């Protein structure tokens, strides 16, 4: 199923082709992220309608998406290493749009849980396939900038989710009276329609020739497992360090509207407009800046530039994120969340660059899936649940959900940075051996 090895196939794609591929994949990632976190802005209307607790919402926003995302990751990574990555992404995008539509039509916890499981399974295909496609469009030193642009999709996706949520909330009453559908249900149905743009966009992308192949032996699952056993310090420190880093931000996205409502008296629509702007400028610009710095470090001979970006991003995002919920006013809280957003995506940029430096082509999808599965299970899975459970047990007198969020951020900062610092020396050793 691999492209042939002709001279034409061995030439790198033109800059126009490579960057247009990144642009389409960034658009698809943005859509995927809207579907992933859109639930967060609609928590309060859902709770009013369905009488769900914060813990129940935490399970829907987190573990019920993340566990299947984790389980599906290795299989999708294996498929991405062997078959058309473009087709895999298109099929997956159609799948997560369908599950989002179902989420808007159902009301029982069990039924809603089933749709989140479906969303997690289908979204697990995106990262391994997209990261592998980008790696086959750019040489190693140029990849960090491309990954920086791609990861900016989370910033665009966050903004779209919040802005669209604000619009949905504003027209919710009108929809309820004219169509007999709850406002939050209408929002999810509209998200499903928007999601169909993702599989259509993949029609404009070429499947790139595979390069950096390690031979037929490296294509097997056994070879990948042998590589992971041999380099367990690097793979483990990277996967766990970045996963723990994202635990707090995923929890933040699920409960930030609730926190601003309870502590500062802001409506979800007010927060959506303000934080949407922050997500675009801080999140997207920060991703590109992290990729640019990583590429610059690589040009200066730092083989561990990707790892440095991971560690710096973890510290910068989690420390400022932990301060934000403690601020006395909403405006100051947003300032610190904006500072956090500048660094939030650096670990993703660095991790994608590191994984695709470490492994031959036939392992890239699988190793990317290991990293993204860890982020899905620990970050996306435990983040909302952790803050939801803490919020239910921390009394309002002690700060409630705001205190729960801050505790989560500071705890993650300590553990994530510690893991990444411990793994950096081993990463330098492996990369030096490859050069």
Write the DSSP string, 194-255. Answer: HHTHHHHHGGG---PPP-S---GGGGSHHHHHHHHHHTHHHHHHHHHHHHHHHHHHHHHHHH
The pLDDT assigned to 186 comes to 80
What mean pLDDT is predicted for residues 241-261?
Answer: 89
Residue 14, φ and ψ in degrees, nearest 5: -65, 160
Residue 188, φ and ψ in degrees, nearest 5: -70, -35
3-state secondary structure 338-356: HHHHHHHCHHHHHHHHHHH
Give the pLDDT confidence of 95-118 residue by residue, as tens digits.
999 998 999 888 889 999 999 999
The pLDDT assigned to 191 comes to 81
pLDDT-derived band at 212, boundaries 50, 70, 90: low
Give the pLDDT confidence of 324-351 residue by residue, as tens digits.
999 999 999 999 999 999 999 899 889 8
Q: Which of 25, 254, 58 has its CA nearest to residue 136? A: 25
CA 406/CA 423 separation, integer angstroms: 26
- Residues 6+ positions from 398 with CB-CB distance below 8 Å: none
Give the pLDDT confidence of 64-82 residue by residue, as tens digits.
888 898 888 888 888 988 8
Q: Are 153 and 22 in contact (CB under 8 A)?
A: no
Asked if pLDDT for residue 216 goes beyond 60, the answer is no
The pLDDT assigned to 31 comes to 87
Q: Are 248 and 416 in contact (CB under 8 A)?
A: no
Percent of the chain with pLDDT over 90: 33
Give the lowest-confidence range in 145-159, 176-190, 211-225, 372-386.
211-225
CA 296/CA 312 separation, integer angstroms: 15
Asked if pLDDT for residue 414 goes beyond 80, the answer is yes
The pLDDT assigned to 3 comes to 41
The pLDDT assigned to 1 comes to 36
Compute, in degrees rounded to 10, the torsion defined by CA atoms 404, 152, 172, 65.
Answer: -60
**15-204+217-434 has which CATH code?**
1.20.1250.20
What mean pLDDT is predicted for residues 225-231?
Answer: 86
pLDDT-derived band at 224, boundaries 50, 70, 90: confident
Number of H helices, E strands in the chain: 21, 0
Asked if pLDDT for residue 18 goes beyond 70, the answer is yes
């Amino acid at each position: 199923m691999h492209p042939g090895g002709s001279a034409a196939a061995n030439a790198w794609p033109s800059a126009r082709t490579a960057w247009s591929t990144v642009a389409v994949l960034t658009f698809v990632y943005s859509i995927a992220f809207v579907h992933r976190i859109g639930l967060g802005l609609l928590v309060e209307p859902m709770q009013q309608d369905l009488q769900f607790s914060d813990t129940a919402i935490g399970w829907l926003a987190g573990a019920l998406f993340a566990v299947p995302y984790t389980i599906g990751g290795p299989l999708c990574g294996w498929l991405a290493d062997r078959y058309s990555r473009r087709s895999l992404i298109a099929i997956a995008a159609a799948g997560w749009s369908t599950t989002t539509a179902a989420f808007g039509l159902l009301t029982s916890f069990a039924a809603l849980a089933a749709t989140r499981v479906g969303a997690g399974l289908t979204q697990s295909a995106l990262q391994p396939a997209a990261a592998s496609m980008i790696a086959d469009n750019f040489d190693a030193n140029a990849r960090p900038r491309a990954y920086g642009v791609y990861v900016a999709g989370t910033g665009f996706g966050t903004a779209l989710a919040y802005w669209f949520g604000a619009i949905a909330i504003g027209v919710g009453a009108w929809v309820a009276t004219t169509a007999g559908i709850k406002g939050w249900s209408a929002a999810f149905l509209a998200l499903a329609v928007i999601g169909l743009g993702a599989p259509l966009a993949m029609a404009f992308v070429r499947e790139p020739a595979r390069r950096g192949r390690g031979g037929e032996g490296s294509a097997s699952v056994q070879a990948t497992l042998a590589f992971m056993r041999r380099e367990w310090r690097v793979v483990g420190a990277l996967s766990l360090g970045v996963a723990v880093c994202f635990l707090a931000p995923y929890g933040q996205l699920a409960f930030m509207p609730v926190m601003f409502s309870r502590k500062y008296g802001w409506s979800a629509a007010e927060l959506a407009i303000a934080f949407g702007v922050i997500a675009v400028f801080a999140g997207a610009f920060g991703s590109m800046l992290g990729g640019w710095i990583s590429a610059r470090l690589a040009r200066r001979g730092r083989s561990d530039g990707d790892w440095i970006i991971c560690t710096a991003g973890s510290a910068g995002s989690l420390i400022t994120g932990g301060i934000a919920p403690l601020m006395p006013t909403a405006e100051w809280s947003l300032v610190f969340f904006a500072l956090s957003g500048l660094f939030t995506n650096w670990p993703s940029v660095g991790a994608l660059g590191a994984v695709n430096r470490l492994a031959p082509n036939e392992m890239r999808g699988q190793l990317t899936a290991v990293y993204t599965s860890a982020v899905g299970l620990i970050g996306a899975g435990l983040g909302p649940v952790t803050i939801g459970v803490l919020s239910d047990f921390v009394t309002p007198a002690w700060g409630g959900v705001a205190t729960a969020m801050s505790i989560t951020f500071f705890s993650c900062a300590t553990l994530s940075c510690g893991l990444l610092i411990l793994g950096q020396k081993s990463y330098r050793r492996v990369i030096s051996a490859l050069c």
